[in-house]
Amino acid sequence: MSIVVAKNAGFCFGVNRAVELVEQAAGQGREVVTLGPIIHNRHQVDRFAQMGVQVIHEPSQAKPGQTVVIRSHGVTKAVYDALEAMGVQIIDATCPFVKRIHGIVSNARQEGRLPLIIGTRDHPEVEGIAGWCDDCRIFQTPQELEEWIKSTPEAANLPICIVCQTTSTENLWKSCVKIAKKEFTNLKIFDTICKATEFRQDEAAKLSALCQAMVVVGDASSSNTGRLAMICREHCQKVVLVDNAAELEPGFFDGATTIGITAGASTPAWIIKEVNKTMSEITNVEAVQEENFAELLEQSIKTLNTGDKVTGIVTGIGSTEVQIDLGTKHAGYIPYDEVSADPNLKPEDILKVGDEIEVFVVRVNDQEGTCQLSKKKLDGMKVWDEMATWCEEKTVVEGTITEENKGGLVANIKGIRVFIPASQSGIAKGGDMTGMVGQTVSLKITEVNRARRRVIGSIRAVTAEARKAAQEKIWAEIEEGKKYHGTVKSLTSYGAFVDIGGVDGMVHVSELSWNRIKTPAEVVSVGDEIDVYVISFDPAKHKISLGYKTAEMNPWNQFMTNYNVGDVVDAKIVKLMTFGAFAEIIPGVDGLIHISQIADKRIGKPEDVLSEGQQVQVKITDVDAENKRISLSIRALLESTEDEAAEETAEETAEETTEE
């Protein structure tokens, strides 16, 4: 006869945390009370009572100055608020997994969704969850859910959020989810079963199938412990639920060669050890450790079934298949086309002899002793699981755009085809999406329908979040005079709108150029990247006025930097007046050629010599910086030329005289 203790028997993380918080508080000399029994175990509650920790059942029973511990099941928001109003110190020992469900149902109501809670209606955890939303429905069985749907015609079109009590069974949850997916058109699913509970229940099922008798240790009032006993009875004929070692009866184990022990999440380790010790004395068997359970399971693997997920070791890579040792009598093999979904990958590229690999059982032939396996199918199943998780958690993922069609784009993510509607592509309506083919993009998964093998994604959701974050950053840091590098988004008759990183600002036409312009298009075009600075902003109205022209761009400053009195420059006649002509030296800077400085002789009017648009050479004769006036002269250049010619003639005459 042998005794095997389940590895995950006893306190789960949430219960262990709650017990430790009470012990710490009591150890500090505080007056500690718990709102309800801290866990469903009278022995642990009695132990705390000996430490001075009392149990209260209503917030009104708490006294100012006391430390009140909220148990791991959690409480309603109303209870929490009542405790805060009492002026007591609160230690919230609510299990983090349960706390997450509180947040889910609360957010669901804010979004206008009706939460459906799958669990035991009068369980403290379920009551606490329901207290974090103003309206919900609780269902203990799939049949209750179906009956409610049938009796509520509008239910199918309601926006629904479905969650589960952490200690519920996987079968119950999956049955309810299946119904919900079939009936509701607007549904959000949150798998909130605690994995520790799932592991414990799965382990209890496996252990009870291997044993001739099972002992479930825990408080009979604990639904968690009661469910473990129920699961064990599905696989084993002899199952007993005991509160402690004293309740064990020797005759119960007659005829059993292997006896299993499991325990609920509220069962302290010292009680499990006492039960183990007492059973070993009754059956005359030495007490065993938890590791034996893993050994027993390993030894029990004798058959394989289609659909199983198993782990094996790569023993060889042949020309058509990969050989796998599964630790059973079957010879496992993976055909080459079942190794990977990528046809370009060779098995030796991703596998080598000695690798541990998880595979899916496709076909078992007991007569031949062979087992056909698939890595590709299991990888595909895992990807679908990942897709569902990404959708639920709104994770940003990367995919490669493989094609464009009439409705939008198609991306490839780990071999799964993800459709991105045109409205979610980030391209303006009517825009060309062809250029995105081949690009790697960031997107969010918004819908996963495994049954129809349909996945929908959104690039726009990612860019919208990024733009929102950029906007918040700009409004938090903006100040007058701050410079930005932006992109011209659109033009109007009165200015240009520039995107400075998520927020649009406007550059008025008067701030685009120092020169007089008729339209912004004379200076900038849509798509241009330009440097701008903040002139003013109004956070309340979300308006920003930007400037583009700078002092460095001021034509007068450029003239003063690059030209001096006495310089000879090329200029263009831009306007003729009775008293002279205006000539443009550089765009935006004109100088006056007085009528007396146009020619080296007296003229009647400027147009007798000059015409608009004519290019002439002029000499800068004077600059009035204060009034920004420039005097120019053509005559000065003509007189200079005559003087030079006279000097040359005189020099030539002198040379001829010298020669004679």
Q: Are strands 629-633 and 356-365 parallel, antiparallel or unpaired?
A: unpaired
CB 200 within 8 A of CB 228: yes
Q: What contacts 371, CB < 8 A, 6 or more positions away?
A: 304, 326, 328, 330, 331, 332, 333, 361, 363, 364, 365
The phi and psi torsions of 529 (rounded to 5 degrees) equal: -100, 120
Q: What is the pLDDT of residue 126?
A: 94
First-to-last C-alpha distance (Å) of the chain: 148
Beta bridge partners of 89: 67
Q: What contacts 43, CB < 8 A, 6 or more positions away?
A: 243, 244, 268, 271
Question: How far apart are alpha carbons 614 and 631 in whole angstroms?
Answer: 18
Question: How far apart are alpha carbons 38 and 74 in whole angstroms?
Answer: 10
Q: What is the pLDDT of residue 291?
A: 41
Q: What is the pLDDT of residue 232?
A: 92
pLDDT mean by block of 10 residues, the chain; 660 residues: 81 81 85 87 85 90 90 90 88 88 94 94 92 94 93 90 87 91 92 79 86 88 84 90 87 82 86 86 58 49 73 84 79 87 82 87 78 87 86 89 88 87 83 86 89 88 80 84 89 89 86 81 88 88 84 78 89 91 88 89 88 91 88 86 57 51
Tokens representing residue 650 in the block: 């005189």
Which of the following is catalytic: 111, 125, 472, 477? 125
Report which of 204, 215, 210, 230 is spatially closest to residue 279, judged by C-alpha positions. Answer: 215
The phi and psi torsions of 420 (rounded to 5 degrees) equal: -120, 105
CB 306 within 8 A of CB 363: yes
CB 37 within 8 A of CB 46: no
Alpha-carbon Rg of the chain, whole angstroms? 43
Q: What is the pLDDT of residue 299?
A: 47
The phi and psi torsions of 447 (rounded to 5 degrees) equal: -155, 135
Active site residue 298: no
Q: What is the pLDDT of residue 424?
A: 87
Q: What is the pLDDT of residue 648?
A: 57
H/E stretch holding 299:
helix 291-300
What sign has the CA pseudo-torsion 388, 389, 394, 399? negative
Beta bridge partners of 615: 572
